[in-house]
Amino acid sequence: MIVKAKAVKLGNNVDTDVILPGKYLALTDPAELRNHAMEGVSPGFASKFAEGAVIVAGENFGQGSSREHAAIALKAAGGRCVVAESFARIFYRNAINIGLPALECPGILAQVTDGDELSVDLERGLIRNLRTGATATTEPIPPDLLQVMNDGGIIEHLKKKRAHR
């Protein structure tokens, strides 16, 4: 499974309140949540990524509250995957649970400029910057988690498994 999209470069310690401000937690429709993704730091974030985006971030991405809404908003806004130097553990699991690929790759910020075209091979753990030719490697997403993402998240994955019994 390979994701190709433009990079949206963020910094360190991007918390869930920045990803999706708390005042929108009453919303449940991903189409509504997408309109508020990264609202405080990048107004119109979702409208910029109709073709999709690879979100590239520094350390501790998704720290803060354990709201699943943050991962949902990023995915709905065109986030095709998130590559960060490190993740807050709850955000990482929320991303996987809703079908948003997440890869940890120390040093990735230094290799990417905002707007670079990236190719991310989720099965091999290979990240290529198509503008510069630079490559980075990381742990690939395990096959069982890739299946969860291919099925559209943990809920759809469990429904599919139940239907095959």
pLDDT digits (tens, 9 = 90+) for 41-69: 777 788 878 789 999 999 999 999 888 99
- The string of pLDDT tens digits covering residues 129-164 is 999 999 999 999 999 999 998 999 999 999 998 888
Question: What confidence score (pLDDT) does residue 47 get?
Answer: 80
Distance CA 140, CA 161 (A): 23
Token pair of 93, please?
């699991």
Distance CA 140, CA 79 (A): 18
Mean pLDDT over each residue of the chain, to the nearest integer: 93
Alpha helices (H) along the chain: 16-19, 30-34, 69-76, 89-98, 143-150, 154-163
All structural domains of the chain with their residue ranges: 2-163
Question: What confidence score (pLDDT) does residue 42 get?
Answer: 79
Distance CA 104, CA 69 (A): 21
Q: Which residues pair with 81 in a beta bridge?
A: 54
Distance CA 114, CA 23 (A): 28
Tell me which architecture the domain covering 2-163 has in CATH.
Answer: Alpha-Beta Barrel (3.20)
pTM: 0.92
Question: What confidence score (pLDDT) does residue 76 get?
Answer: 94
